[in-house]
Amino acid sequence: MNPNLRNLPLDERIRLVEDLWDSIASDQSVLPLTEAQAAELDQRLDAYSADGEPGRPADDVIADIRKKL
Protein backbone atom coordinates (compact mmCIF):
# COMPACT_ATOMS: atom_id res chain seq x y z
CA MET A 1 0.00 0.00 0.00
CA ASN A 2 1.15 3.49 -0.79
CA PRO A 3 2.14 5.02 2.58
CA ASN A 4 0.90 8.44 1.42
CA LEU A 5 -2.64 7.08 1.28
CA ARG A 6 -2.60 6.39 5.01
CA ASN A 7 -1.96 10.09 5.58
CA LEU A 8 -5.27 11.04 3.98
CA PRO A 9 -8.34 11.37 6.19
CA LEU A 10 -10.64 8.35 6.14
CA ASP A 11 -13.49 10.19 4.42
CA GLU A 12 -11.17 11.25 1.61
CA ARG A 13 -9.87 7.69 1.15
CA ILE A 14 -13.46 6.44 0.97
CA ARG A 15 -14.26 9.08 -1.65
CA LEU A 16 -11.23 7.99 -3.68
CA VAL A 17 -12.40 4.38 -3.56
CA GLU A 18 -15.89 5.41 -4.64
CA ASP A 19 -14.47 7.47 -7.51
CA LEU A 20 -12.26 4.58 -8.57
CA TRP A 21 -15.18 2.13 -8.42
CA ASP A 22 -17.37 4.51 -10.46
CA SER A 23 -14.65 4.74 -13.11
CA ILE A 24 -14.45 0.94 -13.28
CA ALA A 25 -18.23 0.60 -13.47
CA SER A 26 -18.42 3.06 -16.36
CA ASP A 27 -15.91 0.96 -18.32
CA GLN A 28 -17.66 -2.39 -17.86
CA SER A 29 -18.37 -2.73 -21.55
CA VAL A 30 -14.66 -3.18 -22.23
CA LEU A 31 -14.54 -6.24 -19.95
CA PRO A 32 -15.92 -9.16 -21.94
CA LEU A 33 -17.89 -11.89 -20.18
CA THR A 34 -16.34 -15.30 -19.95
CA GLU A 35 -18.21 -18.16 -21.60
CA ALA A 36 -19.20 -19.42 -18.14
CA GLN A 37 -20.57 -16.00 -17.15
CA ALA A 38 -22.55 -15.67 -20.38
CA ALA A 39 -23.95 -19.19 -19.93
CA GLU A 40 -24.98 -18.41 -16.35
CA LEU A 41 -26.72 -15.20 -17.42
CA ASP A 42 -28.53 -17.05 -20.21
CA GLN A 43 -29.63 -19.75 -17.74
CA ARG A 44 -30.94 -17.15 -15.29
CA LEU A 45 -32.81 -15.27 -18.02
CA ASP A 46 -34.37 -18.52 -19.26
CA ALA A 47 -35.43 -19.41 -15.69
CA TYR A 48 -36.92 -15.95 -15.21
CA SER A 49 -38.85 -16.22 -18.48
CA ALA A 50 -40.12 -19.71 -17.65
CA ASP A 51 -41.19 -18.69 -14.13
CA GLY A 52 -43.66 -16.06 -15.29
CA GLU A 53 -43.45 -14.32 -11.90
CA PRO A 54 -42.21 -10.76 -12.37
CA GLY A 55 -41.19 -10.40 -8.73
CA ARG A 56 -41.79 -7.36 -6.56
CA PRO A 57 -40.69 -3.76 -6.95
CA ALA A 58 -37.41 -3.07 -5.15
CA ASP A 59 -39.01 -0.27 -3.13
CA ASP A 60 -41.53 -2.73 -1.67
CA VAL A 61 -38.84 -5.24 -0.78
CA ILE A 62 -36.66 -2.57 0.84
CA ALA A 63 -39.64 -1.26 2.84
CA ASP A 64 -40.34 -4.79 4.11
CA ILE A 65 -36.72 -5.23 5.14
CA ARG A 66 -36.71 -1.90 6.97
CA LYS A 67 -39.83 -2.90 8.90
CA LYS A 68 -37.98 -5.96 10.18
CA LEU A 69 -34.94 -4.00 11.36
List pLDDT tens digits, range 27-61.
Answer: 877 888 899 999 999 999 999 999 988 889 999 99
pLDDT confidence of residue 66: 96
Does residue 41 lie within any of the structural domains? yes
Question: pTM for the complete prediction?
Answer: 0.45
Q: Is residue 63 part of a domain?
A: no
Give ∠ CA 38-42-48 in degrees, rounded to 5: 145
Is a pLDDT exceeding 90 seen at residue 64?
yes
Angle at 14 between CA 63 and CA 4, to 5 degrees: 170
User: How many domains does one find in the chain?
Assistant: 1
Domain boundaries, position 16: 3-50
Any domain includes 67: no
Cα separation, 40 vs 25, whole angstroms:
20
